[in-house]
Amino acid sequence: MRVVVLAGGVGGARFLLGVRALLDDEAARSTSGGQPQIQVIVNTGDDLTVHGLRVCPDLDTVMYTLGDGIDTDRGWGRRSESWQAKEELAAYGAEPFWFGLGDRDIATHLIRTRMLDAGYPLSEVTAALCERWHLDGSATQVQLLPMSDQRVETHVVCEIEGARRVVHFQEWWIAHHAQPPVEEFVFVGLDDSLPGPGIVEALSAADAVLLAPSNPVVSIGPILAVPGVRAALRESSARVVGLSPIVDGAVVRGMADKCLPAVGVPVTAQGVGRHYGPRKSDGILDGWLVHESDTADVPGVEVRMVPLLMRSPEATIAMAQAALDLCRG
Amino acid sequence: MRVVVLAGGVGGARFLLGVRALLDDEAARSTSGGQPQIQVIVNTGDDLTVHGLRVCPDLDTVMYTLGDGIDTDRGWGRRSESWQAKEELAAYGAEPFWFGLGDRDIATHLIRTRMLDAGYPLSEVTAALCERWHLDGSATQVQLLPMSDQRVETHVVCEIEGARRVVHFQEWWIAHHAQPPVEEFVFVGLDDSLPGPGIVEALSAADAVLLAPSNPVVSIGPILAVPGVRAALRESSARVVGLSPIVDGAVVRGMADKCLPAVGVPVTAQGVGRHYGPRKSDGILDGWLVHESDTADVPGVEVRMVPLLMRSPEATIAMAQAALDLCRG
């Protein structure tokens, strides 16, 4: 069973825990069948360079989560983290103050930055970092694939203190708490980017393709916008199933409710499903999972209503099960 | 009173506390006279790049010491330091393991590396970092001058595990505990280096020039070897006085006893005094302070015997006083 998952940060990472546990469990029950495999295509549009270090928030969140190094309360960053370097940087007056580098986390960024500076592409750097974290499950192989080795950065056109500005997504999100109304998202470098190594092949060889319940605009959106990814996904022989990040007309976590209006999409499970659209027309979905209390009419897409709140490992596994069931038809 | 001090790391930094306190005290007692000033010419031969960060051990030790941020027990690094990033780097298997980056310390290196990468020379980077540390005394202005803006790195030709190797000074010192017998010190980049901005002017305008009780071979040695520094020092109208780092035939701290034999100098106060030599001949000294229990015959140099153990702030101030008295003739 080869499962490809498109994912952003916290929500995607948690969902992946469920997918991995499910495949491990299926492998343990099965007497036949090859080794299950998860290939995660991860958004890199949130990446930024801060204090000279290259930081990849979504890759790190997925890596730390699957590697059991995540701070489970915050959902991001390292467990048992400390902030001494951050305090010192502030004492020096070194901007930006709004992005906090944890002391443990810094090690990851130092290694990444050094390897990138030495000429290794992000995909190889990511593979090297993941070696330490042992992302595989008891039976399931897990591989993280950055959406592109080229730099693609999400910037936000918005009004801040009366002036029209273009800021990095992280600045809009962290420094300005996603408050400034968004006029437009601009994906700098997108046009010249290529899918990361292995991504087209992964989508082609997949038995199931899942869209994690991540932000459709700034997490799943950039992945699909990398030239070649959307086409490869549409051409996959596997069924493509998405999970709604919107439940009861609100985001479960994050700021999709601030992003969707900027691209003219209603903040509803139906709105996002229609935004992705049916693969049999010009969209990408075969199936769409919405929360049990939601309804969605997405012409050309099979919609199922199941619990979509990741309140426990069991609930998350059940979501993965529902998604794979829908993939299997 | 303008005092120029040539200094390495820990010993030099402690001595500077005494010089600053003395000048502050003199200024408080005096009703006339301009603002006292200390310009410290600091060895940068120990500098290294580790995990992509540019680290300047002697500059940092002097800066943290005079800025009251030093760990006084260790003598180097930051007070209340933690080592989370170091642990993580080791968990990733990122070499070198022997050089420990403290979490607080990393902030300094991040800023330095970023500014150097942006094209600022080390002298300007150092000035920017020092702004935060407020190195001035109650009356005394303090300025740190890296010996050169060019990279000069001390390497050690030595035998390690039966093989003749050339390693960075820090590796010989930290990883190999200064144990491998030294065949030769090589100062990579020295021939193409220039004195840092302000150094020739400082030596020219000085009222007193002091050689801190730092390592004569790998701390004071590289400073004097930067083309132009030795000549500027010899041409200064100020008297030049050194303090012996050797007391009773042993180093007070550090590894001068491992370094002096490699350049054919006896590990004695007299040996080091003669190594520096008299300015009236082809050396650099007018005066030479040795410990009260030592004797030294250095032809052409005025030798005085005074306590040279920095066991208390008062003892260190007394050393500074003895040095300046000898400068004043």
Say which of A51, A107, A132 has its CB closest to residue B110: A51
Chain A residues near residue B103 by CB distance under 8 angstroms: 82, 84-85, 103, 106
Is A263 a residue whose pLDDT tops 90? yes
Instruction: Decide if A88 and B108 are in contact by the 8 Å CB cutoff.
Output: yes
Closest residue of chain A to B81, computed from CA coordinates: A84
Instruction: Decide if A132 and B106 are in contact by the 8 Å CB cutoff.
Output: no
Report d(CA A95, CA B169) in Å as an integer: 34
Averaged pLDDT for residues B287-292: 98
Q: Which of the 8 DSSP states describes residue A237?
A: S
Averaged pLDDT for residues A139-152: 98
Percent of chain A past pLDDT 90, that is, above it, reads 96
Instruction: Decide if B103 and A107 are in contact by the 8 Å CB cutoff.
Output: no
Alpha helices of chain A — where are they, by DSSP H?
10-29, 57-66, 84-91, 103-117, 122-133, 169-170, 199-205, 220-225, 229-235, 256-259, 269-276, 313-328
Q: Which residue has the tokens 């609930």?
A: A315
State the pLDDT at residue B182.
94
**What does chain A come to in residues?**
329
Chain B residues near residue A80 by CB distance under 8 angstroms: 84
Strand-strand pairing, A153-160 and A53-55: unpaired
Other C-beta atoms within 10 Å of B4: how many? 27
Instruction: Decide if A94 and B103 are in contact by the 8 Å CB cutoff.
Output: no
State the pLDDT at residue A36.
97
| Residue of B60, B63, B81, B92 best to disrupt the A interface, most CBs of A under 10 A | B92
Chain A residues near residue B89 by CB distance under 8 angstroms: 107, 110-111
Tell me the CATH number of domain A2-50+136-150+191-328, given options 3.40.50.80, 3.40.50.300, 1.10.1740.10, 3.40.50.10680.
3.40.50.10680
Tokens for A207, please give them: 């038995």
Instruction: Decide if B106 and A85 are in contact by the 8 Å CB cutoff.
Output: yes
State the pLDDT at residue B280.
95
Q: Distance (Å) from the C-alpha of residue A48 to the closest C-alpha of chain B?
A: 15
Tokens for A273, please give them: 């499903």
Closest residue of chain A to B111, computed from CA coordinates: A51
How buried is B274 (Cβ within 10 angstroms: 0-12 exposed, 13-18 middle, 19+ buried)? Answer: buried
What one-character-per-residue DSSP string does A240-309 give?
A: EEEE-SEETTEESSSSHHHHGGGGT--SSHHHHHHHH-BTTTTS-BSEEEEETT-----TTSEEEEE---
Instruction: Decide if B82 and A81 are in contact by the 8 Å CB cutoff.
Output: no
Q: Distance (Å) from the C-alpha of residue B47 to the closest C-alpha of chain A?
A: 18
Chain A residues near residue B87 by CB distance under 8 angstroms: 104, 107
Residue A93 Rama label (left phi>0; alpha psi -120 to 50; beta)? left
Q: Distance (Å) from the C-alpha of residue A109 to the closest C-alpha of chain B?
A: 10
Say which of A78, A87, A91 has its CB closest to residue B132: A91
Q: Distance (Å) from the C-alpha of residue B82 to the closest C-alpha of chain A?
A: 8
Is A253 a residue whose pLDDT tops 90? no
Return the H-helix or E-strand segment holding B51.
none
State the pLDDT at residue A33.
73
State the pLDDT at residue B276.
98
Closest residue of chain B to A90, computed from CA coordinates: B107
Instruction: Decide if B51 and A117 are in contact by the 8 Å CB cutoff.
Output: no
Report d(CA B107, CA B130) in Å as an integer: 13
B329 pLDDT band, cuts 50/70/90, is: confident
Tokens for A266, please give them: 């209603």
For A97-112, how does the pLDDT look when each residue is reduced to its tens digit (9 = 90+)? Answer: 999 999 999 999 999 9
Averaged pLDDT for residues B95-102: 94
A91 pLDDT band, cuts 50/70/90, is: very high
For A152-169, how does the pLDDT look when each residue is reduced to its tens digit (9 = 90+)? Answer: 999 999 999 999 999 999
Tokens for B328, please give them: 């004043």
Mean pLDDT of chain A, nearest integer: 96
For B5-55, how does the pLDDT look when each residue is reduced to its tens digit (9 = 90+)? Answer: 999 999 999 999 999 999 999 999 988 778 999 999 999 999 999 999 999
* More confidently predicted of B40 and A32: B40
Instruction: Decide if A113 and B52 are in contact by the 8 Å CB cutoff.
Output: yes
Residue B202 near residue B180, CB atoms below 8 Å: no
Say which of B85, B107, B132 has its CB closest to residue A107: B85
Is B253 a residue whose pLDDT tops 80? yes
Say which range, A25-39, B42-56, B145-159, has the weakest mean pLDDT: A25-39
Q: Distance (Å) from the C-alpha of residue B77 to the closest C-alpha of chain A?
A: 13
Chain B residues near residue A68 by CB distance under 8 angstroms: none
Is A252 a residue whose pLDDT tops 90? no
For B187-240, how does the pLDDT look when each residue is reduced to its tens digit (9 = 90+)? Answer: 999 999 999 999 999 999 999 999 999 999 999 999 999 999 999 999 999 999
Instruction: Decide if A92 and B117 are in contact by the 8 Å CB cutoff.
Output: no
For A264-293, how does the pLDDT look when each residue is reduced to its tens digit (9 = 90+)? Answer: 999 999 999 999 999 999 999 999 999 999
β partners of residue A158:
A165, A182
Chain B residues near residue A107 by CB distance under 8 angstroms: 84-89, 91-92, 94
State the pLDDT at residue A125.
98
Q: Identify residues of A whose CB sits under 8 angstroms from chain B CBs.
A: 51-53, 78, 80-82, 84-89, 91-94, 103-104, 106-108, 110-111, 113-114, 117, 129, 132
| Residue of B83, B84, B101 best to disrupt the A interface, most CBs of A under 10 A | B84
Chain B residues near residue A89 by CB distance under 8 angstroms: 107, 110-111
Instruction: Decide if B92 and A52 are in contact by the 8 Å CB cutoff.
Output: no
Instruction: Decide if A51 and B82 are in contact by the 8 Å CB cutoff.
Output: no
Instruction: Decide if A110 and B81 are in contact by the 8 Å CB cutoff.
Output: no
| Long-range contacts of B64-68, Cβ-Cβ distance < 8 Å, separation of 24 or more | B64/B13, B64/B133, B65/B10, B65/B13, B65/B14, B65/B16, B65/B17, B66/B13, B66/B16, B66/B17, B66/B20, B66/B133, B66/B135, B66/B142, B67/B130, B67/B132, B67/B133, B67/B134, B67/B135, B68/B133
What interface predicted TM-score (ipTM) does this complex get?
0.94
Say which of A84, A94, A111 has its CB closest to residue B92: A111
Q: Distance (Å) from the C-alpha of residue B130 to the closest C-alpha of chain A?
A: 9
| Residue of A49, A53, A71, A106 best to disrupt the B interface, most CBs of B under 10 A | A106
Tokens for B197, please give them: 């901005």
Report d(CA B45, CA A33) in Å as an integer: 61
Chain B residues near residue A52 by CB distance under 8 angstroms: 110, 113-114, 117
Mean pLDDT of chain B, nearest integer: 96
Q: Distance (Å) from the C-alpha of residue B111 to the closest C-alpha of chain A?
A: 7
